[in-house]
Structure 1
Amino acid sequence: MKLKVFYILLAVSIMTSCKKLLDEEPKATATLGDLDPTTLDQTVIGVYEPLTRSRGRLWESTVGLGLELMSEYADGGSSQLNWSNYNALMNLPNNFAQSWTTLYEAIGRANSLISNLNKNTTLSDAVKNKAYGEAYFVRGYCYYFAVRVWGKVPLRLHPIVNASDVGLALSPVNVVYDSVIKDIKLADSLLPNTTTAPGRATKGAAKTALADIYLTLGQYQNARDKAKEVIDNKATYGYDLEPSLATVYSPTLATNKEDVFSLKFSQIVDKGAFMASYWADSKAKAAGYSVSGNKFGGIISLAPLIKGWDDNDLRKKFSLYDKYVINGVTTAAEVEKDIYDLRMGKYKDPDAPIDTGNGNDFYLFRFADVLLIFAEAENKLNGPTTAAYNAINQIRRRGYGQPVNTASAYDLTAGLSQSAFDDSVFRERGYEFIGESKRWFDMVRTNRVAQMINGVNSVIKFPTRKPVPTKFVFALPDVELQNNPLAN
């Protein structure tokens, strides 16, 4: 059974003075001076734990589903309408409230670990450095996610030890990004090239995160250079594209060579992800998609991205469906025809024990990210060079089942302008990362939100379901506003 990062309590002394004030504070602290490397490693695992907690409402569910439904090509249907109504979504404070507390718990644990490592005098530098690197990576990535979702946030970089630490003003977006880059750079300098424990951060993951952060900030030279470092050292890090999509999204494999950093889930009750069940319908088990189905939204075939998707692209068949075969009989999938007419099938685990036990991992970064970051940044800097074409064409060739290093009839059209190539990369990211909750962030960072939503609204039956948003960050949740007097 696939490796699962199990919950490790950090507790040796419980903090009670401010526990009732904030869910953000570390639930406990650990004194590392008396710990050996093995126990330290267990404590590091505890830093990751909130990110993969079933029912934690972070990437495995609320984020994985909600952010994907915010894509222009998706709709939550009758049960998840709020995720498509952008303006109501952005102005209501608690749509990401559970994610906020879970995210800050991971940040709090990372802060506690860093603080205790600073005080420790018994562990070797080599052992401490790896732990530092993982803590900085988790903290940095959590703030990278937070700044894109909420904008200004309280930048907590030290453990909360008493009630006087609760009040903290919101940091400007640029200050948060500066902290994120600092953390991930430290992680890059401290982490090992590889890991024998899937789901743990490595040097390649840190470099990829930096490339993605720089791309979001429009720092194309830095984004290109970091992505190229990963490409040039892919053998060192063990990265490459997997020929088979079934391998990439397997519910049972611990990892694969395309896995740069992913959240690990297992086929164990309450130790898995929800994604396969969220997207499937009531016939999920018999249809081969999940142990059960919630019908929490689907995909709009008329959306320009989807309508223009070549049927020969294997990713389309792997990711989307409107029918399935049960006992030899072709049966129409359950959809809300006037709203969405395709189901998402990228995550499949019919052998899961329960809907909280789907084994599909959730990728934050794949080697495909690296190639597409490089292609986009290289084009922004130098136009559609041979190197930029080579990067995107590897993705396209794999999508069409072709050898990735051999020229193919499915390669991107030669001689494109810089603008046309940029549009092609954006489109390719839509196909490659459908179901992986990247589209909304891509729409925002490339200033394509209105363009994409208007394009869909021009062809769907009920365009009022997807109003063009007037803002692009969420309101802070009540838990922060009530407990942090300086957050208002």
Structure 2
Amino acid sequence: MKHTKLYTILATIALVSLTTGCDKLLEEKPKTTIRVGELDPTLLEQTVIGAYEPMTRSRGRLWESTVGLGFELMSEYADGGSVQSAWSNYNNIMNNPNAMQQPYTTLYEAIGRANGLINRLDENTTLDNALKQKAYGEAYFIRAVCYFFAVRTWGRLPLRLKPVITPADVPLALSDAATVYAQIITDLKFAETALPPTVNAANAGRATSGAAKVALADVYLHMGDFTNARAKAKEVMDTKATYGYDLETSLATVYSPALATNKEDVFSLKFSQVVDRGGFLASYYADSRAKQAGFSVSGNKFGGIISVAPLIKNWDDNDQRKKFSLYTNYVINGVVTAAEIEPGIYDVRLGKYKDPNAPIDTGNGNDFYFWRYADVLLIFAEAENKLNGPGAAAYEAINIVRRRGYGVSMTAPSALADLPAGLTQTQFDDMVFRERGYEFIGECKRWFDLVRTNRAAKEIGDVRAAISIPTRKPVPNILLFRLPDVEFQNNPLAQ
């Protein structure tokens, strides 16, 4: 069974010991912060663990639940079906100010805890400096990761860098995206110098300097700063042994519900096969025969995949990722049985996350990845091509990922897996975009890729033209969510 330390031990003490900025933001009259004495090494450890907790708590979750599901259903190739139809109508949900209120408040709770930890460390005069530096690094990493998601989701938002302790701390003007990105970079640059290169398996899920570097590469990529994106990805590639990074040969290892971590894992939210300590994704996507079919203890049928979407329609059957991630039937008691679909809406199920041995639907052990080593290679391939065209280095980076996908040697050229030679810069860029779709299907990256590459209207339009109910995929007239009402109700400077 997976290690569960990060999200189970001493949670109550961790909660009381922190300033929880977002909690206070949601109250008309924020109370003063509850504090528990001077930090010692034990309390510091508990407090750091508490700063991670909002991202992975059971119910009221941030990425793994509402966002991990919703943003994947906003991909051009997915549909929420009758149960989650709201996520398919971009224009309605993104113009609804409260569609993302729960993730928003949970996000700011994590930011508030990171800020509270930083404040406690600033005040402390007794802890060993090495312990303080590592804790600072984790706090800045958590804050940066949260704001990276936030800026891509809402754009302008309050950039809270101090704890909310009194009512006077609540009013704060919104910052523009450029200002938020600048702070994210500052935080991650500090984190990459303060964090250790690795953590042991018992602490899997804790930030490392390698994770901070990969996060920086992704931030630069989303900003269109290909020079720095390439440089940071290349730095990680050149020193991958320092961080223990590489591609796993087996997809089953990468997505195992039982393993604590693997060498491809850069940073992920950790879930375990324990009641209310696991993830939901295996159950979300499976159908009513989930247990018999070997996918999950139960199935919710929260959407599926559209086979006529160009990305899916053109997916090579020889690519093992396709069979691993998608299915139309399964074997029950020796009988091939068609999976449950919604005709005219979606006709393929997403099976990337599998845990039939989970004790309950809140106990699926599949982790939720923010970054894998595959991210590093594909970030490098995209940025290198943007800067220098499709040379040998860009080809090799993407082809390594493709070779793993096709189940061939990752170190030798492959006529089956490798991209054709002679692609133009534009063609190669399209291939990287396509490859990211195949590699990261189900991992909540596609919507952000559609937006940052200015492909949203075209890709969604192509699917709209192919499906029988075009209204299921309206061309988006908005690419950022509206801030929820709770921000405007409590923050008089949010304009």
Is TM (by shorter chain) over 0.5? Answer: yes
Task: Give the deviation of 1:61 after TM superposition.
Answer: 0.8
- For the aligned residues, what is the CA RMSD? 1.8
1:31 positional shift: 5.2
**1:450 partnered with 2:492:** no
**CA offsets, 1:419-457, max 9 Å, x none?**
000000000000000000000000000000011001101
132-141 or 164-173, which deviates more: 164-173
Distance 1:229 1:26, change over 3 A: farther
- Aligned-pair CA distance for 1:30: 4.3
The 1:297/1:28 distance shift into structure 2, 3 A limit, reads farther
Partner SS for 1:407: coil
The residue matched to 2:7 in structure 1 has which SS? coil
| Equivalent residue runs for 1:1-80 within 5 Å | 1-4=1-4, 5-7=6-8, 8=11, 9-11=13-15, 22=26, 29-30=34-35, 34-80=38-84
Cα offset for 1:480?
A: 1.2
Is structure 2 residue 237 aligned with structure 1 residue 231? yes
- TM-score between the two structures when normalised by the length of structure 2: 0.96
SS at match of 1:467: coil
| CA distance, structure 2, for counterparts of residue 385 and residue 37 of structure 1 | 50
Select 1:475's aligned residue among 456, 476, 482: 482
Residue 114 of structure 2 is aligned to residue 110 of structure 1: yes
- How many angstroms does 1:96 deviate by? 1.1
Distance 1:13 1:399 in 2: 45
Task: Give 2:199's match in structure 1, choosing from 185, 195, 207.
Answer: 195
Contact 2:381 2:395 (8 Å CA) reproduced: yes
SS at match of 1:262: strand
C-alpha deviation, 1:138, in angstroms: 0.2
Which of 264, 271, 277 is the equivalent residue of 1:265?
271
1:286 has 2:292 as partner = yes
Q: 1:425 to 1:294 in 2, by over 3 A?
A: same
| Counterpart residue number, 2:123 | 119
Judge which range, 470-479 or 337-346, deviates more: 470-479
In the aligned structure 2, how far is the partner of 1:378 from the partner of 1:18? 40
Distance 2:325 2:210 in 1: 27
Q: Do structure 1's residue 329 and structure 2's residue 330 form an aligned pair?
A: no
Contact 1:18 1:162 in 2 (8 A): no
* CA contact 2:286–2:295 (8 Å) conserved in 1: yes
1:94 paired residue number: 98
**Structure 2, unaligned stretches of length 5 or more?**
none
**Deviation beyond 2 Å, 4+ runs, structure 1:** 7-21, 23-32
Residue by residue over 1:230-261, the C-alpha shift from the partner in whole angstroms, topping out at 9 and shown as x without a partner, is 10011010000000000000000000000000
Q: Does 1:145 align with 2:145?
A: no
2:137 aligned residue: 133
- Structure 1 residues 23 and 190, CA gap change in structure 2 (3 angstroms): farther
Partner residue of 1:433 out of 433, 440, 458: 440
> How far apart, in 1, do the equivalents of 2:346 and 2:355 lie?
23
- CA 53–290 in structure 1, closer or farther in 2 if over 3 Å, else same: same
C-alpha distance in structure 2 between counterparts of 1:177 and 1:474, whole Å: 17
Say whether 1:387 aligns with 2:393: yes
| Kept in 2: contact 1:26–1:160 (CA 8 A) | no
- Which residue does 1:418 correspond to in 2? 425
The 2-side partners of 1:395 and 1:172 are apart by 36
Structure 1's 29 and 175: CA in aligned 2 closer, same or farther, altered over 3 A?
farther
Aligned mate of 2:163, from 159, 164, 169? 159
* Aligned amino acid, residue 369 of structure 2: Y
Q: Is the 8 A contact 2:221 2:383 kept in 1?
A: yes
Aligned partner (choices 367, 380, 403) of residue 374 of structure 1: 380
CA distance in 2, matches of 1:290, 1:441: 28
Amino acid of the structure 1 residue aligned with 2:274: I
Which whole-Å CA distance do the structure 1 matches of 2:358 and 2:252 have between them? 16
After superposition, the C-alpha distances for 1:283-337 in whole angstroms (9 at most, x for unaligned) are 0000000000000000000000000000010000000001000000000000001
Partner residue in 2 for 1:352: 358
Task: Compare 278-287 and 188-197 and name the one that shifted more.
Answer: 188-197
Number of residue-to-residue matches in the alignment: 487
Shift of 1:70: 0.3
Structure 2 partner of 1:241: 247
3-state SS, counterpart of residue 167 of structure 1:
coil
Residue deviations 1:104-163, cap 9 Å, x none?
010000000001101110011111000000000000110000000011010000000101
2:402 equivalent in structure 1: 396
Supply the AA of the counterpart residue of 2:187. Answer: D
| CA distance in structure 2 between the partners assigned to 1:194 and 1:148 by the alignment | 28
- What is the SS of the residue equivalent to 1:93? coil
- The C-alpha deviation readout for 1:260-279, integer Å capped at 9, x for no partner, is 00000011111111100000
Q: CA deviation at 1:39?
A: 2.4
**Once the two structures are superposed, what CA deviation does each residue of 1:10-55 show, in whole Å capped at 9, x if it has no partner?**
35579799966526989955456x3322321121011001111111
Match status 1:206 vs 2:207: no
* Counterpart selection for 2:256 from 243, 250, 253: 250
Aligned residue identity for 2:431: S
2:221 corresponds in structure 1 to: 215
Query: CA separation in 2, counterparts of 1:216 and 1:52?
Result: 25
Q: Please say if residues 10 and 30 of structure 1, whose CA atoms lie closer than 8 Å, have aligned partners that are also in contact.
A: no
- CA, structure 1 residues 20+379, in 2 after alignment: closer, same or farther (shift >3 Å)? closer
Distance 2:310 2:343 in 1: 17
Q: Equivalent residue of 1:35, what SS?
A: coil
Residue 319 of structure 2 is matched in structure 1 by 313
Instruction: After TM superposition, give the deviation of residue 405 of structure 1 in Å.
Output: 1.0
SS at match of 1:10: helix
Shift of residue 466 of structure 1?
Answer: 1.0
- In 1, the alpha carbon distance for the partners of 2:219 and 2:17 equals 36
The normalised TM-score by structure 1 is 0.97
- Asked whether the 8 Å contact 2:21–2:113 carries over to 1, the reply is no
Shift of 1:403: 1.3
SS at match of 2:141: helix
| 2:348 matched residue in structure 1 | 342
Q: Secondary structure of the equivalent of 2:224?
A: coil
Query: d(CA) in 2 for partners of 1:89 and 1:109?
Result: 29
